[in-house]
Chains A and B, each alone.
Chain A
Amino acid sequence: MPETLEAIDRNIINALQGDFPLSDEPYRVVAETLGIGADELLTRLASMLATGVLTRFGPMFQVERMGGAFVLAALKVPEVDFERIAGQVNSLPEVAHNYRREHAFNMWFVLATETPQGIAAALEKIEGLTGLPVHAFPKEREYFVEMKLRA
């Protein structure tokens, strides 16, 4: 574990994994359970977002419940072109996240679109931009999703 992450920051991350209050001063409610002030909680949250310890704090939307779609897709990117193609793929707002992985399929990204048709359009756009065939791996069954990791 990195030494730079203080115990209080770990406690904050763990306390913010769910059940965030919908009351008027929600940060104060959470801060009280942690034994710190609301101002300190807000300062530490801002700092963890600024340094990239947290990538986001807020509602996590399930776009499929809105009539939209998520799809996992992969590319086999030639190493010499990797940075350029990463930039092209990331330029699409539909690309929610993108990881480099160690495999012939070395770029894996998730598309999130407001309509199912938006997926096909985004895939086509990526093929057009990159000149590479995109392999889509739509989910057929979801057995489990739980993104909470203990800090």
Chain B
Amino acid sequence: MLSEHESLDDMDRRLIVATQAGLPLLLKPYHALAEQLGISAADVQSRLTRMLAAGLIRRIGAVPNHYALGYTANGMSVWDVTDTHIDELGTQVGALAFVTHCYRRPRCLPDWPYNLFAMVHGSSRAEVEEKVAQIAALLGVEARAHDVLYSSRILKKSGLRLAG
């Protein structure tokens, strides 16, 4: 399963399962994990260091609720961009400071003509719309249509969960 990827041994997997809900809120969190897993704290730290270096862990950090931070307008802007220009333009849209995620995805015709997705957050819809207008200006005539899907409720936000 992991031949072309980073190889994980059984202990790495147990460490992922032990931390996927969160890092222990204890003065010595790596020692607490070590005790739970029956290995040394140094081993826990070196495994996490290796997974960070390999990109298996993007970062160890806090995941805020956007709404609680005041980002009450969360818009998924979606665009129908000509196939010949999408990679060049997608890279430029992704480079805009306010775009947090930017992907090319398949259209699903006739219901869904959009192939570029760019997430934009703001403290109001007017702020999001102003940012969406900047994307529209960048894409110009290469964007044949677009829409903004605002989130109105977080239904679930647990992150990855491997079976323990």
- A interface residues, Cβ below 8 angstroms from B: 1-2, 5, 12-13, 16-20, 22-28, 38, 42, 45-46, 48-49, 51-63, 65-67, 72, 86, 89-90, 93-105, 107-109, 112, 114-115, 135, 137-149, 151
Interchain Cβ contacts under 8 Å between A and B, 9 examples? A58-B60, A66-B56, A67-B5, A96-B157, A97-B158, A109-B155, A140-B105, A146-B100, A147-B101
- B interface residues, Cβ below 8 angstroms from A: 1-2, 4-6, 8, 16, 19-23, 25-31, 41, 45, 48-49, 51, 54-66, 68-71, 74, 76, 87, 90-91, 93-95, 99-106, 108, 111-112, 117, 121, 123, 147, 149-163
Q: Is the CB of A105 within 8 A of B112?
A: yes
Q: How far apart are A127's CB and chain B's nearest CB, in angstroms?
A: 15
Q: How far apart are A65's CB and chain B's nearest CB, in angstroms?
A: 5
Tell me the dominant secondary structure on chain A's binding face. Answer: mixed
A93: which of B55, B66, B100, B161 is its contact (CB, 8 Å)?
B161
Q: Is the CB of B151 within 8 A of A96?
A: no
Q: How far apart are A62's CB and chain B's nearest CB, in angstroms?
A: 5
Bound Cα distance from A65 to B93, whole angstroms: 25
Q: Is the CB of A90 within 8 A of B31?
A: no
Q: Please, which residues of chain B bring their CB within 8 A of the CB of A45? A: 25, 62
Bound Cα distance from A110 to B19, whole angstroms: 20
Q: Which of A53, A138, A147 has the most CB of B within 10 A?
A: A147
Q: Which of B27, B57, B62 has the most CB of A within 10 A?
A: B62
Q: Please, which residues of chain A bring their CB within 8 A of the CB of B63? A: 54-57, 60, 147
A96: which of B22, B28, B158 is its contact (CB, 8 Å)?
B158
Q: Is the CB of B71 within 8 A of A149?
A: yes
Q: Please, which residues of chain A bring their CB within 8 A of the CB of B51? A: 59
6 tightest Cβ-Cβ pairs between the two chains A and B: A144-B94, A143-B94, A1-B70, A20-B60, A16-B62, A98-B155
Q: Is the CB of B69 within 8 A of A61?
A: no
Beyond A59-B60, A97-B158, A98-B154: 5 further Cβ-contacts under 8 Å?
Answer: A55-B158, A101-B152, A137-B106, A145-B102, A149-B121
Q: Please, which residues of chain A bring their CB within 8 A of the CB of B26? A: 42
Q: Is the CB of A54 within 8 A of B55?
A: no
Bound Cα distance from A69 to B101, whole angstroms: 17
Q: Is the CB of A55 within 8 A of B103?
A: no
Q: Is the CB of B162 within 8 A of A46?
A: no
Q: Which of A42, A99, A139 has the most CB of B within 10 A?
A: A99
